Amino acid sequence: MLTMAMPALRFGSRAGIFVAAMAILLVLIAFVRWFWSHYRPTERLPPGSMGWPLVGETMDFLQPHSATSRGRFMEKHIKRYGNVFKSSLFGHQTIISADPELNKFILVNENKLFQCSYPSTITGILGKWSMLVLVGEEHKRMRSIAINFMNPAKLKDFFFKDIERHVLLTLQSWKDGDVLFAQQEAKKFTFNLMAKQILTFNPEEPRTQELMKDYYTFMKGVIAAPLNIPGTAYYRALKSRSKILDTLGRIMDARSQKPEDKYNDLLEVVTKSGSLTTEQVLDLVLNMLFAGHETSSVALTLALKFLADAPAVVQQLQEEHQAIYAARSFEKERLTWEDYKKMNFTHCVINETLRLGNVVRFVHRKALKDVYFKDFFIPKGWKVLPVFCAAHLDAGVYCRPLEFDPWRWQQIQEKNVYFTPFGGGNRLCAGADLAKLEMAVFIHHLVLQFEWKIAEADRAMAFPFVEFEKGLPIQINRRCFRPMQKQQ
């Protein structure tokens, strides 16, 4: 019995020793990596902790927190290490910066000292022609298309009327006494608007709803683990992506049959220029849908939340917009560009919403060279995360930073370089003016027609993308403000 069992036992133990040796080796490698990054004899590397081997501090960093706070991770680390510290995030050695000056420095030195560098999970789904992925000349080319598409003259002559029409469509569907999910309403509004501007899809068409459905399936893949196996969110996202590609291909074919039709939309601009392949056009369209509606819908929802808690601000907004309304001639029922220019206080509200709400909290960069800044050394190849919300919520920059106080913007005279809700440098958000226009026109008609209050307590959370936990349920009531009150 014993002799018969021996060989098996010997074999078993050999395999066991092998596995154990491999395990020890792996742990050793991980430890050496961790040790090296932790105790590497580098000059003036910012202080900080590299956390656990491999995962680093990623879990802590991604811990959801209130959007109007810097989050426990940032608070804890800033208190301990100061505004610039090192860490290990998403498998990379990383410098995290809450220093407004360093953040500005990073943004303006794009392509010289730093470069955009998003995690592969994000780039995998947004496509290799996504503006967040491209660098150098190719980025410049795509960016100029986006900038051109939303240039000031286009905003004034083309977007403005459409925005107002979509705002009125949204508000017309609201009934006195309704309880609505503000976030969903804002998403519908911004999505429909972008679908119109990009593809000339109108909100009442079934294909718009279809596109929205596909788009949302696609979106869920952006934040899911990139596992391309049937059943996963990522798999479904890639399926939706190819479905949208098919739809787009059909539209482009149909348009090429009738070249005399004019659309004046993004698709027409890029197909007429003829410089992009179908795949590039698809990535551009998806990215514009993504960039142009995820962010501005959140910003709008945040505004509704902050305003619901600030009746004095709503009061002043009502006065501003009633004055604009009253000054309009009877023939011109619609808003004009001159009206928009008069919305001074509304712009304070928009800035304050972006400051306190921090829709885009940080961006991803990497160091192209060894960089010395103030007392710090940032080694070449390290990732760099400029955290914008840190400055926006810093008591040293803004008095009582956690208060929603639009009036503070009437005092902020000098150019405020630390206010970067739209990033900066040659990657400054291409849609910043469009986003503000959307918010202003929405607020105009909203405060004229409705009053609203929070129906169920809710808060915006940073996941780190910002979202309301319950979608912000609000109760709306029609105001008794009637056109008859118009003077003149």
Ligand X SMILES: *[C@@H]1O[C@H](CO)[C@@H](O)[C@H](O)[C@H]1NC(C)=O
Q: Does 359 bind ligand HEM (CB under 6 A)?
A: yes
Minimum CB distance to ligand X, residue 392 (Å):
11
> Do the Cβ atoms of 356 and 392 come closer than 8 Å?
yes
φ/ψ region of 428 (left if φ > 0, alpha if ψ in -120 to 50, else beta) reads beta
Query: Cα–Cα distance between 159 and 166 in angstroms, integer?
Result: 10
Those residues with Cβ within 8 angstroms of residue 337's Cβ, 6 or more apart along the chain or in another chain: 156, 160
357 part of the interface to ligand HEM, by CB under 6 A: no
Binding piece for ligand HEM, criterion CB under 6 A, among 49-57, 232-240, 273-281, 358-366? 358-366
Q: Which position among 89, 195, 244, 299 is part of the footprint of ligand HEM (CB under 6 A)?
A: 299
Radius of gyration, CA atoms only, the chain: 26
C-beta of 180 vs 435, nearer to ligand HEM = 435
328 binds ligand X (CB under 6 A): no
Tokens 């018969």, residue located: 4
**CB nearer to ligand HEM: pick between 45 and 125:** 125
Would you say 159 or 419 has its CB closer to ligand X? 419
Identify the residue among 181, 189, 362, 409 touching ligand X (CB under 6 A): 409
Decide if residue 430 touches ligand HEM (CB under 6 A). Answer: yes
Instruction: Mark the segment that binds ligand X (CB under 6 A) among 90-98, 110-118, 366-374, 409-417.
Output: 409-417
Tracing tokens 């220093």 back to the chain, one arrives at 99
* Exposure letters 276-288 (e unless 16+ CB within 10 A, then b): beeebbbbbbbbb
Distance CA 418, CA 138 (A): 29
Kindly list the strands in the beta sheet with 365-367, ordered across the sheet, starting from the edge strand earlier in the chain: 84-89, 92-97, 383-386, 365-367, 114-116
By beta-carbon proximity to ligand X, the closer residue of 325 and 409 is 409
Judged by CB under 6 A, the residue of 351, 376, 378, 391 near ligand X is: 351
434 binds ligand HEM (CB under 6 A): yes
Instruction: Tell which one of 131, 186, 219, 455 touches ligand HEM (CB under 6 A).
Output: 131
Q: Pick from 116, 348, 385, 389: which binds ligand X (CB under 6 A)? A: 348
Smallest gap from residue 27 Cβ to ligand HEM (A) = 36
Q: Is 347 in the site for ligand X (CB under 6 A)?
A: yes
> Strand, helix or coil at 114?
strand
Q: Which is nearer to ligand HEM, 155 or 455 (CB)?
A: 155
> For ligand HEM, which residue of 77, 86, 196, 427 counts as binding (CB under 6 A)?
427
Structure tokens at 237: 């996202």
Which residue of this chain has its Cβ atom nearest to ligand HEM in the complex? Answer: 431
Q: Does 292 bind ligand HEM (CB under 6 A)?
A: yes
Binding to ligand X by CB under 6 A, coded x per residue (else -) over 426-455, reads ------------------------------
Segment lying near ligand HEM (by CB under 6 A), choices 243-251, 389-397, 417-425, 479-487: 417-425
63, 173, 242, 344: residue in contact with ligand X (rule CB under 6 A) = 344
What does the CA dihedral 178, 183, 186, 192 come to, rounded to 10 degrees? -110
Q: Are 343 and 444 in contact (CB under 8 A)?
A: yes
Which helix or strand (DSSP H or E) is residue 73 part of?
helix 71-81
Query: Which region, judged by CB under 6 A, interacts with ligand X, from 27-35, 91-99, 125-133, 412-420?
Result: 412-420
Tokens of 372: 């010395």
Query: By CB under 6 A, is residue 281 in contact with ligand HEM?
Result: no
CB of 344 to ligand X, least distance (A): 4
CA distance 112 to 381: 13
Euclidean distance between CA atoms 186 and 180, whole angstroms: 11
The 8 Å CB, 24+ separation contacts for 139-148 are 139/427, 140/426, 141/275, 142/280, 142/284, 143/426, 143/427, 143/430, 145/269, 145/270, 145/273, 145/276, 145/284, 146/284, 146/288, 146/430, 146/431, 147/430, 148/269
Binding site for ligand X (CB under 6 A): 342, 344, 347-348, 351, 409, 412, 416, 419
Binding site for ligand HEM (CB under 6 A): 116, 131, 143, 146, 288, 291-292, 295-296, 299, 359-360, 363, 421-423, 427, 429-431, 434-435
